[in-house]
């Protein structure tokens, strides 16, 4: 096996190592990744997987060296780094963050690992919002869904994690953005190699003193303990056995699992080993984690050995940099500190001399800036949902903290400018060895940050003042009543909804002042807004107290609509104008509650069904009552409210009715709902996986789909989306629906709507090979039922949110037929074939433009002719020998009026002042003033003059000193306005020459 040349900034290396042969063993695994609770160690939400392979025919507990026939022995010369060489190393860049990353990857490249690039921060895994661990890109391999492309790999993975955001800057090690260095084995090597290599890398390659290193193992993992103690030589006092919560990784209730082992660095070895607590992050930091996936947990909870074992490890780059660079926290390493220095400079403060609160704020800025720059680079733009909300939340947190530190403007004499782009330039400069593509996206990153910051600043000051007022009131009320101060959910929601304050910022500011936030109340207000944003016909108005009584007395409605469109039911409740009643007679509207129904109630964007309720005479089956149902809602959870009118007879509580859904309308809804799923899949395929749903409407006549995207779709993209969807329709794929546990659905790759709440059991709708979504709506059984798909509009509805409206099925046919009829009429009128319409229309437009130009020229000539006649009406002001023309030109249009005025000024001797007016249409007045140079020199300006005259006609206008135009809407006042113009001109000219 060819060993890559080892490149290292510190010179040659010297040690011996064994490289395992690559075994082409098949991988089979299933399960999902579940975050583990963060401890005082390096578990960045533990999406960490491990499995191992047999080293030889010996048992898994064999503590001896591996059999030689399974290994190739290699040696390379090394200079280990001792304690003395660590001092001052940062000055020669040998322990820089970039060097650590490079040396890690080189180390494993020399041991047969394939070096892979970092995956995007936007994962392919639909169950995870952002890439939060190094192993995420290999999840399909661990699950056995994809074949391995290499037996072992190593990466430096960019990660985002926000569940510990409150600890960022306050501890020495928490981040939202971090890099995880990892080596992975897919059925190749296992514990012995993983442990030995991690120790060798740590102590020889990076030169950490062994006496400062501690190790944790799972309490029952005797094999790992033996390797650490007997082979590696770690003393018993420096090995800690820990329980399942700390050192046993699981992928779920069942499935692959295995013990973990971690390496810790001891900052205070002088404290000894008696009662040492690895969770004490003032003394220890976990920097390397190894997880060994070796078991399968069965349904009964028992463990069985996996036939194929894997390894996944993670070394925190920022943590190793802190250790090697000998700084007190991760933020003061060369990976982050340049950003902090730039922020300090903008705030005109010294980080070294700052107090702890200021240092914490600067650390938060340094951390968050890295996160937002790399997220935007990977295509995640600020928005109010999903990944975009993460970016927006972090940006607004930086802006608020920057203002608290006194940062004003961009630091370049522009106090109104944005400072985020200035900080982003530092991040981009540091990104070369992390992701070279970031620098190529500089313009997009800086523009997006500037837009988002300035947008937020517009409302920040008002919101801050209001928040201060709310907090002051809460503190005052709490002190007066002896209660703990609390900000109401209603006030918190006002800040969120009106002033753009993320609830996390409100909570953070409140906590700084000792005030809690009523989050339950906030959630209630959020839900109210969601319901109120629906169309007015969706709202069921209830009198005070009736909703709670109704919800208590009426059981949930049994929905039968997936299987049938008709069923018998019992009337369990009636409402008229929101009030409960026992009976409703013919001609009245009613809201009807049934024990069971085939009617779909509006939810998930799909509108409610239409149809009828019938009841019959008991004796002869004569029809007795007919109720037309126009809408169905679910305002009380799973209680369906059927809104309708009593067309015949009467309806009473307890009556048995037959419920029948309008099958044609239901089919239209089904078609549009399935087409919506196809549209989302097509959008992800054409414009990128980072786009996500922001809302939808599934109606009988059309569908509407809102999605996050930063620009309008191009014409060719719309065409590509339509072609892709229509191809999927033509493939006549069977649509599958099934109910399964939520965890299983996510594991299978089903797309969930971000922010939606799901129960333990969910309904999954899948178009195999195209789309898989969590959805409770109704769908066609085969894509061929959709018949055809056409986008009828695409537009922006909010910042970063676009909307597509489209038609499918019967609505598509109606749309095409309607357009075809228009085309036939057009062809008949133009007397051409359909394929020649465009050319014929272009010719007509050209002819029309030529005709209009000719007409305009004729009008101008006519106006000039009229002007030549009007010229004779010019009168002279003797004091200044100035000629003045103030006249009406009937219905002359504005352009011709202008030509006439210019003609008069040019043909009459300077100085001359011309004011002309006309009424070119109903409720329309045109005015123009043209003054020669001699008039302008007197200080009389046409622009200022004509504005006052136009006001008389109910209008306004202005222009240059020598020429101006104006308009009005009161033609009856034109002559009065011209008389006023004549008088004012004479007065002004006499005054100037007196």
What Rg value do the Cα atoms of the chain yield, rounded? 38
Helix, strand, coil share (%) of the chain residues, nearest 5? 40, 25, 35
Task: Please tell me the distance from the alpha carbon of residue 380 to that of residue 389, in angstroms, as a whole number.
Answer: 9
Q: Are 432 and 367 a contacting pair, CB within 8 Å?
A: no
CA 320 to chain centre: 32
Place of tokens 């798909």: 789
How many CA atoms lie less than 13 Å away from 482 in the CB half-sphere?
Answer: 0
3-class DSSP state of 826: helix
Q: Are 703 and 807 a contacting pair, CB within 8 Å?
A: yes
Residue 357 structure tokens: 């609160």
Beta carbons within 8 Å of 408's beta carbon, 6+ residues apart = 415
User: 61: annotated binding-site residue?
Assistant: no
CA 223 to chain centre: 46
Beta carbons within 8 Å of 197's beta carbon, 6+ residues apart = 17, 107, 108, 111, 183
In terms of C-beta density within 10 A (0-12 exposed, 13-18 middle, 19 or more buried), how is residue 33 classed?
A: buried
**DSSP assignment string, 624-650:** EEEEEEEEEEEEETTEEEEEEEEEESE
Task: Please tell me the distance from the alpha carbon of residue 441 to that of residue 100, in angstroms, as a whole number.
Answer: 26
Residue 765 structure tokens: 């709708």
**Cβ neighbours of 240 (radius 10 Å):** 18
Given its phi and psi angles, is residue 605 left (phi above 0), alpha (psi -120 to 50 degrees) or beta? left
User: 673: annotated binding-site residue?
Assistant: yes
Place of tokens 């201060």: 468
Cα-based torsion angle of the residue sequence 325, 330, 336, 342 in order, rounded to the nearest 10 degrees: -100
Q: φ and ψ at 282, to 5 degrees?
A: -80, -20
Letter string b/e over residues 36-73, b meaning 16 or more CB atoms within 10 A of that residue's CB: bebbbbbbbbbbbbbbbbbbeeeeeebeeebeeeebee
Determine if the peptide bond prior to 817 is cis (ω within 30°).
Answer: no
Task: Please tell me the distance from the alpha carbon of residue 683 to that of residue 707, in angstroms, as a whole number.
Answer: 9
Task: Please tell me the distance from the alpha carbon of residue 957 to that of residue 943, in angstroms, as a whole number.
Answer: 8
Is the sign of the CA dihedral 58, 64, 67, 73 positive or negative? positive
Q: φ and ψ at 714, to 5 degrees?
A: -80, 160
User: 229: annotated binding-site residue?
Assistant: no
The CA-based angle 42-44-48, given to 5 degrees, is: 95
User: 672: annotated binding-site residue?
Assistant: no
Helix axes 337-347, 386-404, angle to 10 degrees: 50
Task: Please tell me the distance from the alpha carbon of residue 130 to that of residue 388, in angstroms, as a whole number.
Answer: 11
Annotated binding site: 673, 677, 775, 779
Binding residues for Zn(2+): 673, 677, 775, 779
């Amino acid at each position: 096996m060819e060993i890559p040349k080892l490149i290292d900034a510190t010179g040659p290396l010297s040690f011996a190592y064994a490289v395992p042969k690559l075994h082409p063993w098949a991988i089979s695994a299933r399960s999902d990744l579940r975050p583990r609770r963060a401890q005082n160690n390096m578990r960045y939400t533990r999406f960490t997987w491990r499995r191992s392979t047999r080293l030889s025919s010996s048992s898994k507990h064999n503590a001896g060296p591996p059999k030689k026939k399974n290994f190739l022995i290699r040696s390379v010369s090394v200079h280990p780094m001792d304690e003395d060489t660590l001092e001052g190393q940062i000055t020669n860049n040998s322990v820089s963050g970039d060097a650590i990353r490079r040396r890690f990857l080189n180390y494993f490249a020399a041991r047969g690992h394939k070096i892979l690039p970092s995956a995007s921060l936007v994962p392919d895994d639909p169950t995870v919002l952002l890439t939060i661990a190094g192993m995420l890109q290999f999840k399909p391999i661990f699950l056995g869904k994809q074949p391995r492309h290499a037996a072992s790999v190593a990466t430096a993975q960019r990660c985002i994690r926000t569940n510990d955001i409150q600890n960022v800057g306050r501890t020495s090690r928490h981040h939202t953005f971090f890099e995880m260095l990892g080596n992975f084995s897919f059925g190749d090597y296992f514990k012995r190699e993983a442990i030995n290599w991690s120790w060798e890398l740590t102590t020889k390659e990076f030169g950490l003193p062994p006496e400062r290193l501690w190790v944790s193992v799972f309490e029952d993992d005797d094999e790992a303990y033996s390797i650490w103690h007997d082979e590696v030589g770690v003393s018993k006092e420096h090995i800690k056995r820990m329980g399942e919560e700390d050192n046993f990784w699981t992928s779920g209730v069942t499935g692959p699992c295995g013990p973990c082992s971690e390496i810790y660095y001891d900052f205070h070895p002088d404290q000894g080993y008696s009662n040492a607590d690895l969770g004490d992050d003032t003394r220890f930091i976990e920097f390397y984690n190894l997880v060994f996936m070796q078991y399968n947990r069965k349904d009964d909870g028992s463990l069985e050995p996996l036939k194929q074992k894997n390894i996944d490890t993670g070394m925190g780059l920022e943590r190793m940099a802190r250790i090697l660079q000998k700084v007190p926290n991760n933020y003061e390493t060369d990976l982050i500190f340049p950003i902090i220095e730039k922020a300090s400079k903008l705030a005109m403060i010294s980080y070294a001399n700052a107090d702890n609160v200021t240092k914490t704020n600067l650390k938060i800025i340094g951390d968050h800036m890295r996160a937002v720059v790399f997220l935007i680079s990977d295509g995640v733009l600020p928005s109010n949902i999903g990944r975009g909300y993460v970016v927006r939340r972090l940006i607004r947190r930086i802006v608020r903290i920057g203002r608290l530190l006194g940062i004003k403007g961009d630091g370049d004499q522009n106090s109104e400018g944005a400072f985020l782009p200035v900080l982003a330039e530092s991040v981009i400069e540091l990104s070369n060895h992390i992701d070279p593509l970031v620098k190529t996206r500089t313009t997009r990153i800086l523009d997006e940050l500037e837009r988002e910051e300035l947008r937020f600043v517009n409302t920040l000051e008002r919101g801050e003042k209001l928040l201060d007022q709310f907090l002051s009131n809460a503190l005052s009320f709490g002190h007066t009543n002896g209660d703990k101060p609390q900000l109401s959910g209603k006030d918190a929601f006002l800040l969120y909804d009106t002033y753009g304050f993320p609830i996390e910022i409100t909570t953070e500011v409140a906590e700084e002042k000792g005030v809690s936030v009523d989050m339950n109340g906030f959630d209630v207000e959020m839900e109210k807004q969601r319901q109120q944003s629906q169309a007015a016909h969706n709202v069921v108005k209830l009198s005070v107290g009736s909703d709670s009584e109704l919800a208590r007395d009426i059981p949930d409605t049994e929905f039968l609509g997936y299987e049938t469109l008709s069923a018998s039911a019992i009337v369990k409740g009636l409402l008229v104008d929101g009030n409960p009643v026992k009976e409703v007679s013919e001609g009245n509207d009613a809201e009807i509650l049934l024990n069971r129904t085939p009617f779909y109630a509006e939810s998930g964007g799909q509108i409610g069904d239409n149809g009828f309720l019938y009841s019959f005479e008991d004796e002869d089956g004569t029809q007795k009552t007919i109720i037309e149902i126009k809408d169905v809602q679910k305002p009380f959870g799973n209680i369906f409210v059927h809104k309708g009118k009593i067309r015949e007879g009467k309806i009473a509580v307890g009556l048995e009715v037959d419920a029948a859904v309008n099958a044609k309308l239901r089919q239209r809804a089904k078609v549009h709902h399935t087409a919506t799923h196809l549209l989302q899949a097509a959008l992800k395929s054409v414009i990128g996986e980072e786009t996500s749903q922001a809302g939808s409407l599934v109606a009988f006549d059309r569908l509407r789909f809102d999605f996050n995207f930063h620009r309008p779709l191009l014409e060719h993209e719309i065409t590509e989306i339509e072609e892709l969807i229509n191809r999927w329709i033509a493939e006549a794929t069977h649509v599958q629906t099934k109910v399964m546990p939520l965890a299983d659905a996510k594991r299978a790759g089903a797309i969930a709507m971000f922010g939606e709440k799901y129960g333990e059991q969910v309904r999954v709708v899948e178009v195999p090979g195209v789309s898989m979504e969590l959805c409770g709506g109704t769908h066609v059984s085969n894509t061929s039922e959709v018949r055809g798909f056409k986008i009828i509009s695409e537009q922006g509805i909010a910042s970063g949110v676009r909307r597509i409206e489209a038609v499918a099925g019967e609505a598509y046919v109606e749309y095409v037929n309607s357009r075809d009829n228009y085309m036939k009429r057009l062809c008949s009128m133009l007397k051409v074939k359909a394929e020649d319409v465009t050319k014929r229309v272009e010719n007509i437009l050209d002819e029309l433009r030529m005709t209009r130009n000719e007409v305009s020229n004729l009008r101008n000539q006519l106006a000039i002719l009229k002007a030549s006649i009007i010229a004779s009406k010019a009168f002279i002001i003797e004091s200044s020998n100035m000629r003045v023309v103030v006249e009406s030109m009937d219905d002359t249009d504005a352009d011709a009026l202008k030509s006439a005025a210019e003609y008069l000024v040019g043909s009459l001797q300077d100085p001359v002042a011309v004011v002309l007016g006309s009424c070119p249409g109903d409720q329309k007045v045109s005015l123009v003033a043209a003054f020669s140079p001699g008039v302008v020199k007197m200080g009389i300006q046409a622009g200022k003059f004509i504005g006052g005259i136009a006001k008389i006609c109910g209008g306004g206008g202005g222009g240059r000193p020598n020429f101006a135009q104006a308009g009005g809407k009161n033609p009856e006042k034109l002559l009065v306005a011209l008389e006023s113009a004549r008088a004012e001109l004479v007065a002004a000219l006499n005054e100037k020459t007196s």
